[in-house]
Amino acid sequence: GENVEQHPSTLSVQEGDSAVIKCTYSDSASNYFPWYKQELGKGPQLIIDIRSNVGEKKDQRIAVTLNKTAKHFSLHITETQPEDSAVYFCAASSVGYSTLTFGKGTMLLVSP
């Protein structure tokens, strides 16, 4: 089955800095890579996703890049704000697969 590794497990940045979270996956057939943000006491919420026919996707301050050859994808957050503080999860899924495999999460702390 799929295996997703996520790094770092914790990340502290100053407000206004950029943050990068990286994930690798094992199944070359995986073609869907979402990122979720989980705030305290809430369920994970989708913030951005990318499919394997695209190398990069942006949504305002958030971007995701995908390198299919190396089997890794990354989340980039620019101009971080305190409200970006949360746990972020990457995940991977394949066509025909009925499961979404998650990384272990990254706790991002943005200090004012």
Partner 1 sequence: EAQVTQNPRYLITVTGKKLTVTCSQNMNHEYMSWYRQDPGLGLRQIYYSMNVEVTDKGDVPEGYKVSRKEKRNFPLILESPSPNQTSLYFCASSRGQGNQPQHFGDGTRLSIL
- Residue 85 as a binder of partner 1 (CB under 8 A): the answer is no
Tell me the β-bridge partners of 86.
108
How large is the C-alpha radius of gyration of the chain? 13
CB of 108 to partner 1, least distance (A): 15
Q: Is residue 44 a contact point for partner 1 (CB under 8 A)? A: yes
CA distances from 12 to 21, 78, 82, 104, 107 (A): 12, 14, 11, 17, 8
Report the nearest approach of partner 1 to the CB of residue 44 (Å). 5
Q: Contact between 72 and partner 1 (CB under 8 A)?
A: no
Task: Answer yes or no whether residue 54 interacts with partner 1 by CB under 8 A.
Answer: no
- CB-count burial class (<10 Å; 0-12, 13-18, 19+) for 93: buried
**Which stretches of the chain bind partner 1, using CB under 8 A?**
1, 6, 31-32, 34, 36, 41-46, 49, 89, 93-105
